[in-house]
Structure 1
Amino acid sequence: MRQRFRAEQVREPADGMWSNCLRVGDLISVSGMTARGADGETVTGDEYDQSMVIFGKIRDLLSAAGAQMDDVFKMTIFVTDITQNSKVWDARKQFFTGDFPTCTLVQVAALAKPEILLEIEALAIAGSSTTH
């Protein structure tokens, strides 16, 4: 059974666009998150600041779906400046423990708005981490 989950802190897209978080059995998929706040405005700052916002949104969606950050097994990160990747890794360390998820980091020419520096999507299996 497929279920859609929402978190109060994460702005939902318009109906018929996409789902931010879907759970099918124990598999949870989180769409690409950016540093847009619940008000739709992009949180300003560098890659570290935006990563902290994004990882927080992913955590909130996973929590709503009955999982935690350490249940994430795969992430894909899209950045506009790959030379700033260490800022993303520094933020990531604030949200994960133990074995970090597999990860693909890709530089892209642009994201939805010029002020958006990165976008992160995640896959998790609820209850799969050793920290439960």
Structure 2
Amino acid sequence: MKGAWKLWGDLPEPVRRELRAIYRDLRREYRVPPSRLSRRLLKAAAEAWAVADAVSGEAAQVALARRGGRGRRPSAGQVRTAAKRQGLQLLTLREALGRLEALAGARRPPTPDELLDAANRAIAEDLARDGDE
């Protein structure tokens, strides 16, 4: 997709590099057709992925500090809050990936594996019909 390098230009280089890597991975995985809508959905999904990753790490850190930490430990409420943030962010990520999947499924050409599967099914159906006659 042309113009992906213009995304997140206002962010620091390490953050921008990570977001662009997620963007490329999602684009490669879902094979969405190049369009303004797909670019926006890929951008939103990449951001949701990065935030979900960070929030999940924080939730794990808080829970582990509560269970086995020394000194000042997070309260049970802080653990619940971190877990809730994690759950909400994972839901956001799941919805973003679902939108990408719907867009890719609606417009993308079939993969070679999908074409082979369809051909094999057609051959099997023909053989089954020939055996019945």
Q: Give the TM-score, by structure 2 length.
A: 0.24
Structure with bigger RCO (C-alpha 8 Å, 6+ apart): 1
Structure showing the higher strand proportion among its residues? 1
Q: Point out the structure with max Rg over C-alpha.
A: 2
Q: Give the TM-score, by structure 1 length.
A: 0.24
